[in-house]
Amino acid sequence: MVSVEWRAMNYRLLAPFASLFLSAFLMFAAIGLTNLIIPLRAGVEGWSAGTIGVIGMAQAIAFTAACFLMPVQIRRVGHIRTFAAIQTVLAASIILHGLVVSPWAWALFRVLAGLAAAGSYMVLESWLNEKAEPANRGFVLSAYLIVTMVGLTAGQYAYTLFEIGDGRLFQLTALLFGAALLPMTLSVSPSPVPPETVKLDLNGLFARSPVGFVGALLSGFLFGVWNYFAPLYGQRIGLSSVATATLVSAAMVGGMLAQFPFGRLSDRIDRRYVMAMIGAVGAVVCLFLSMAAPQSALLNMMGTLMIGMALFPSYSIAVAHTNDHANADEFVQVSGSLLITYGIGTMVGPVIGGQLFSLIGPIGLFVSLGTTFLAYGSYAYWRTTRREAIAPEERDDFQAVPVTPFQTQQVYELDPRQDESGPVEQEEAAA
HEC states along 195-264?
CCCCCCCHHHHHHHCHHHHHHHHHHHHHHHHHHHHHHHHHHHCCCCHHHHHHHHHHHHHHHHHHHHHHHH
- Give the largest CA-CA distance in the chain: 61
As a whole number of angstroms, the distance between CA 213 and CA 207 comes to 9
As a whole number of angstroms, the distance between CA 174 and CA 151 comes to 15
Closest CA to 229 of 363, 33, 402: 363
Tens of pLDDT, residues 324-355: 776 666 666 677 778 888 889 999 999 999 99
As a whole number of angstroms, the distance between CA 289 and CA 406 comes to 26
pLDDT of residue 420: 52
Q: How many residues does the chain have?
A: 431
Taking each helix axis as running N to C, give the angle between helix 18-44 and helix 210-236, from 0 to 180 degrees, rounded to the nearest 10.
60
pLDDT band at 86 (very low <50, low <70, confident <90, very high): confident
As a whole number of angstroms, the distance between CA 332 and CA 199 comes to 9
In a domain, 405, yes or no: yes
pLDDT of residue 279: 96
> If you ran DSSP here, which 8-state letter would residue 186 be given?
T
In this structure, of 97-106, 172-181, 286-295, 403-412, the range with the lowest mean pLDDT score is 403-412
pTM score, two decimals?
A: 0.86
pLDDT of residue 267: 83
One-letter identity of residue 380: A
Q: In the chain, what percentage of residues exceed pLDDT 70?
A: 79
Q: What is the CATH number of the domain that holds 163?
A: 1.20.1250.20
In a domain, 41, yes or no: yes
In a domain, 7, yes or no: no
User: Domain limits at 365?
Assistant: 17-187+194-429
Instruction: Decide which of 200 and 212 is more confident.
Output: 212
Tens of pLDDT, residues 210-254: 998 999 999 999 999 999 999 999 999 999 999 999 999 999 999
pLDDT of residue 331: 62
Q: What is the mean pLDDT of residues 113-135?
A: 78
**Range with the largest mean pLDDT of 5-19, 23-37, 367-381:** 367-381
Closest CA to 332 of 195, 190, 193, 139: 195
What is the total count of domains within the chain? 1
As a whole number of angstroms, the distance between CA 118 and CA 412 comes to 14
CA 75 to each of CA 125, 132, 399: distance values in angstroms, whole numbers, following the listed order? 15, 21, 29
In a domain, 9, yes or no: no
In a domain, 50, yes or no: yes
In a domain, 5, yes or no: no
Is 71 buried (19+), middle (13-18) or exposed (0-12) by CB count in 10 A?
Answer: buried
In a domain, 316, yes or no: yes
Under 8 Å between Cβ of 334 and 406: no
In a domain, 6, yes or no: no
CA 256 to each of CA 115, 311, 395: distance values in angstroms, whole numbers, following the listed order? 27, 10, 23
Q: What is the mean pLDDT of residues 108-137?
A: 80
Q: In the chain, what percentage of residues exceed pLDDT 90?
A: 45
Q: What is the mean pLDDT of residues 162-178?
A: 93
In this structure, of 21-25, 59-63, 78-82, the range with the lowest mean pLDDT score is 78-82
Instruction: Decide which of 388 and 53 is more confident.
Output: 53
Closest CA to 378 of 265, 218, 262: 218
Instruction: Decide which of 325 and 54 is more confident.
Output: 54
257 pLDDT more than 80:
yes
pLDDT of residue 423: 42
Helix H or strand E segment including 277? helix 271-292
Closest CA to 304 of 350, 370, 361, 359: 370
284 pLDDT more than 80:
yes
